[in-house]
Amino acid sequence: MSVRGAPTGCGTLASLDGLTVLVTGATGSFGQRFVARTLAESKLAKLIVFSRDELKQHDMRVAYPDEPRLRFFLGDVRDKERVRRAFEGVDCVVHAAALKQIPAAEYNPFEFVKTNVIGAQNLIDAAIDCGVRRVVALSTDKASSPVNLYGATKLVSDKLFVAGNVYSGPRPTRFCVVRYGNVIGSRGSVIPFFRQLAKGGRIPLTDPGMTRFWITLDAGVELVLHALHDMRGGEIYVPKIPSMRVIDLAKAIAPDAAIEVVGIRPGEKLHEEMISASDARRTFDRGAYFVVVSDLALEGGVEERGRPVPAGFRYTSDTNPEWLDVEQLRRLADG
């Protein structure tokens, strides 16, 4: 069973042939899958791993001992000069580096601002200065109508990347954003957390009615590749992915464990949102995904492909027409 989320068979990997691609946060879950896919399935000239963790870079280097296209660059997106140096000669950037843990954000807000907001600004400036042609930034459903600091920093980041297309002026650099929900198999996923707690025979659940969007790592990679191929600048790509009830996930992973309702944590929503009603007038349905287009692009008369969504449309995890049941969740979790 696969999770729908991005167009496939679009020749997107072939579009990277001969190019130099840099991935920030490349030693994370998404980055590692992106690196594996692009090295195996494309003929890119060079793939640069940019991250701040030397141990994870060492482990990745060991995993690809004979890959001449792979380069490693230690650095932090907070360091503007280091980012600029890394971007020299780069054609495309995938920006996956971020601080992401909601509770940590509430207690360490300045650190999240430095990485998620100032880091985004540094990346935009460096990309323009170095003549990078295309930048895709990864976002989150937490950035739509945010209620926690992490989501707020990612909303600011999204707006910076969209506005970067105006900031670049006549230069060739173009920016877009990819926004999706919880990732199956990612580091920090709720699945290993639930499995560990299930050993004690009890799983704490925030709320029985809580819902979340769900996507696989491969579907996330496919959407980013499609965005690199399709973007003209200023888009927010939102995949059509299934929802799941958190209580169903608990039942799928630990059917014999007792469930204890503990209440929603600070900064959490009962349901997630990827497109708000206020964005409906700028949102287009393109089959496997939605695209939210910037006001600047609409004012410029850009002809959009796709069908406008109805006025007041919202894309939320509780009203989503596509759902995963307990058995489907179990197969995905085991896969």
Q: Which residues are known to be catalytic?
A: 142
Give the C-alpha separation, 127 to 283, whole Å.
27
| Whether the Cβ atoms of residue 37 and residue 12 lie closer than 8 Å to each other | no
| Helix (H) / strand (E) containing 165 | helix 149-167
| Whether the Cβ atoms of residue 17 and residue 44 lie closer than 8 Å to each other | yes
58-62-67 Cα angle (round to 5): 115
**How buried is residue 210: exposed, middle or buried, by Cβ count under 10 Å (0-12/13-18/19+)?**
buried
List of residues 6+ apart from 210 with CB closer than 8 A? 245, 246, 247, 264, 270, 271
Q: Name the token pair of 138.
A: 């990864």
The tokens 């920030």 sit on which residue?
Answer: 24
Three-state DSSP class for residue 332: helix
Q: Name the token pair of 85.
A: 């140096």
| Whether the Cβ atoms of residue 97 and residue 77 lie closer than 8 Å to each other | yes
Give the C-alpha separation, 93 to 234, whole Å.
15
Q: b vs e for 6-18, b when ≥16 Cβ sit within 10 Å of the residue's Cβ?
A: bbeeeebbebbee
Residues β-bridged to residue 243: 213, 323
**How buried is residue 108: exposed, middle or buried, by Cβ count under 10 Å (0-12/13-18/19+)?**
middle
The tokens 């759902």 sit on which residue?
Answer: 323
| Whether the Cβ atoms of residue 101 and residue 188 lie closer than 8 Å to each other | yes
| Whether the Cβ atoms of residue 276 and residue 145 lie closer than 8 Å to each other | yes
